[in-house]
Amino acid sequence: MKYRDLHLHLDGSISLTSLKELARLGSYELTESDPYLLNKLQVSPDCRNLNEYLTKFAFPLFFMQTEEQLTASVKNLLAELKALDYEYAEIRFAPQLHLTKGLTQEKVVEACIKGLKDGPVDAKLILCALRGDGNENENYETFEIAKQFLSKGVCAVDLAGAEALYSTDKYKELFKRARDLEVPFTIHAGEADGPKSIYTALEFGARRIGHGVRAFEDKALVKEIARLKIPLELCPTSNLQTCVFSDIKDYPIMQYLDAGIIATVNSDNMSVSHTDVPRELELLKKTFSLSDSDIELIQKNSVIASF
């Protein structure tokens, strides 16, 4: 079986081996023990919500601030995906988080595209805008750069960050710009916030929904997502860690498949969530006694949903 990941954050998927190389490239020597470093990269079992989960990204980001480090981070991730038998990945990151050493967003994206070149796995980039205060210009710039590199390594844009603190409807104008630029987009919605956020993302014209897992709270919305054929990028382990669900048994995967939704299964963050697509599929298979044809359907959905 060949795997595909459509919802994979670069900064949340830096392995320990990769981290050490990125540190060396920045002339840092990480002398701490492996368990200590792993603890810095991975979410703790007592994580309470998305806001807390998001604090785990500052550490790897510190080592992803030069062109060399960014190219290496993408290359290393592709090699790791190849070892896991992946055939395709859409890797996302927010260019504005890689500017502390003076790079421009354009340089950041170029460096990541360089990391894709001649890689062992077919992969494309999704550029994330970020929810927050005072970064409006950066978000618009991200979308302009996505347009510049569209079909040259970049396949789409996204909106990431603290959904419960900065609601999706605040970003209406930003996504109008994405539509004007004809850059396809997915939006993180229906993860920390509920169905309202998903309705808003659909209204904006999102081609996929990042997570969208809380759609089940509104039966009409489930029907609408199926009717519109808008794929959901589900990430089960991540949703358990951010406490969207307290028990995997409550995960609505069968409900979505039965409703005819194009449900895909993804890892979100391989290091922060300590997972990958094979493990996510195995978890669902075990929990819901999924048949081989259920798994095949999920895999096929990921092909259909690719940008």
Q: What are the residue numbers of the active site?
A: 191
CB of 275 to Zn ion, least distance (A): 13
> Between residues 11 and 110, which has the closer beta carbon with respect to Zn ion?
11
Query: What's the rounded Cα separation, in Å, for the pair 222 and 210?
Result: 15
Query: What's the rounded Cα separation, in Å, for the pair 25 and 227?
Result: 49
Number of residues that bind Zn ion (CB under 5 A): 1
Q: In 82-229, where do the E strands start and end? A: 86-93, 122-130, 154-160, 186-189, 208-211
Dihedral sign for Cα atoms in the order 43, 44, 49, 51: negative
CB of 168 to Zn ion, least distance (A): 14
Residues numbered 261 to 300 that lie near Zn ion (CB under 5 A) are: 268
CB of 210 to Zn ion, least distance (A): 5
Alpha helices in 26-167 (DSSP H): 34-41, 50-53, 58-62, 67-83, 105-116, 136-148
C-alpha distances (whole Å) from 94 to each of 35, 150, 191, 211, 221 are: 28, 16, 19, 18, 29
> Between residues 25 and 272, which has the closer beta carbon with respect to Zn ion?
272
CA angle (272, 275, 276) in 5-degree steps: 125
C-alpha distances (whole Å) from 258 to each of 6, 223, 235, 287 are: 21, 11, 18, 16
> Between residues 74 and 130, which has the closer beta carbon with respect to Zn ion?
130
Binding track over 223-262 against Zn ion, x by CB under 5 A: ----------------------------------------
Residues numbered 166 to 185 that lie near Zn ion (CB under 5 A) are: none
Closest residue to bound Zn ion by CB: 268
CB of 130 to Zn ion, least distance (A): 12
CB of 157 to Zn ion, least distance (A): 13
> Between residues 268 and 276, which has the closer beta carbon with respect to Zn ion?
268
Residues 108, 64 contacting (CB under 8 angstroms): no
CB of 30 to Zn ion, least distance (A): 26
What are the phi and psi torsion angles at 264 (to 5°)? Answer: -115, 160
Q: Report the candidate in 130, 267, 276, 272 with the shortest Cα–Cα distance to residue 211.
A: 267
> Between residues 25 and 178, which has the closer beta carbon with respect to Zn ion?
178
Mention every residue, 6+ apart, whose C-beta is less than 8 A from residue 18: 72, 73, 76, 77, 80
> Between residues 268 and 280, which has the closer beta carbon with respect to Zn ion?
268
76: left (phi over 0), alpha (psi -120 to 50) or beta: alpha
Which residues of this chain interact with Zn ion, rule CB under 5 A?
268
